[in-house]
Amino acid sequence: MADADCTRDERRERIVGECNAVRQALQDLLSEYMSNMGTKDRTPELERAIGHMYRKTKDLRRQLRKAVVDHVSDSFLETNMPLLDLIEAARGGNEKVVRERADIFTKHAEKLVEVANLVCSMSNNEDGVKMVRYAADQIETLCPQVINAALILAARPNSKVAQENMEAYRQAWENQVRILTEAVDDITTIDDFLAVSENHILEDVNKCVLALQEGDALDLRNTAGAIQGRSARVCNVVEAEMDNYEPCIYTKRVLEAVKVLREQVMSKFAQRVDVAVDALSSNSPKDVDENDFIDASRLVYDGVREIRRAVLMNRDEEDLDPEDIEDEQYTLETRSKCKRKQTTLAY
């Protein structure tokens, strides 16, 4: 996991650090066991060593979970772009370009399946894992069929039958990716997803500001698109999570935070991006109010952070990730409790 291509350097360092901590804890535990051989009762030192081993193992597992969510956050972003690029090439009738785009599309599909399997490896939700694996199998089966439809369209770009065939496969692919995405979300811990998404959006916000300062309109547009995509994913995932609860003050607070991000913050951010890109792309580049753009970008990060804070209000103190507790809002007195709905899933 630490050596995977998409694992960020910071996450890799944390995983390695936790592995070393587990190794040391295990060595200490073995030493205590050796010291207690022939003793009927456990000594306080042995109890402490056992507890320390448990905590270090839990810390390592948390880092591995977050590494998996890193992959989910990156791979399940703009999932339709490789398909749309493939279809665009097919409509142009250039078979060479279609085959090049098909390679990219295939790698994208393989990445979705790989990440889905990684998520399964970290989940103990048996029914959810079955659903993810089934959806991933469907993606693998559908991928070559989509490419074949694109090649047929490239050979006969004016054929109505070929066009309708391509459209049918486009809809089938998008539907299957949606099913896989929802299945993956169902077995991904929302706390991990929100923490990782918040960090990724902060990274992208910094990249956006840097692109503005360097006058790179294309990079600015692409990075802003990633921010918008991640923010939309956060809103969708959190709304789906709130459907699992009976309506209460907790769900109302969370959904209000989602509404603010989606309807107010993101619209303002999109406007600032358009203004900045237009200014940088014009024949005579215009000055952009950098502070105004930074403020709009910061509001996106703050909006996502506020959603995560609202979601965590329903957690018990022992369930909170020590890495994610950074202010006094997460106290037992301010946390709201809300019952989850009783649901039965059928497969």
**The domain spanning residue 138 has which CATH number?**
1.20.120.230
One domain, residues 38 and 142: no
Look up residue 238 and give its two tokens.
Answer: 């959190």
pLDDT at 339: 62
pLDDT at 303: 95
Task: Work out whether the CA dihedral 114, 77, 260, 212 comes out positive or negative.
Answer: positive
One domain, residues 202 and 320: yes
Chunk the chain into consecutive blocks of 10 residues (it has 347) and report each block's average pLDDT, rounded to whole numbers. Answer: 70 88 93 83 87 90 86 85 94 93 95 92 91 96 96 95 96 96 91 91 93 90 93 93 91 95 94 90 76 92 94 75 53 48 43
Domain carrying residue 123: 76-187
Domain assignment present for 11: yes
pLDDT at 261: 95
One domain, residues 109 and 6: no
Domain assignment present for 119: yes
What is the distance between the alpha carbons of residues 173 and 283, in angstroms, rounded to a whole number? 40
One domain, residues 194 and 320: yes
One domain, residues 5 and 35: yes
pLDDT at 73: 85
For the chain, what is the domain count?
Answer: 3
Domain assignment present for 90: yes
What is the distance between the alpha carbons of residues 283 and 114, in angstroms, rounded to a whole number? 44
What is the distance between the alpha carbons of residues 48 and 27, in angstroms, rounded to a whole number? 13
Domain assignment present for 210: yes
One domain, residues 195 and 320: yes
pLDDT at 5: 66
What is the distance between the alpha carbons of residues 17 and 64, in angstroms, rounded to a whole number? 12
pLDDT at 285: 66
Identify whether the C-beta of residue 152 lies closer than 8 Å to the C-beta of residue 165.
Answer: yes
What is the distance between the alpha carbons of residues 316 and 53, in angstroms, rounded to a whole number? 23
One domain, residues 149 and 238: no
Look up residue 221 and give its two tokens.
Answer: 């547009």
Domain boundary among 144, 161, 187: 187
One domain, residues 194 and 183: no
pLDDT at 324: 57
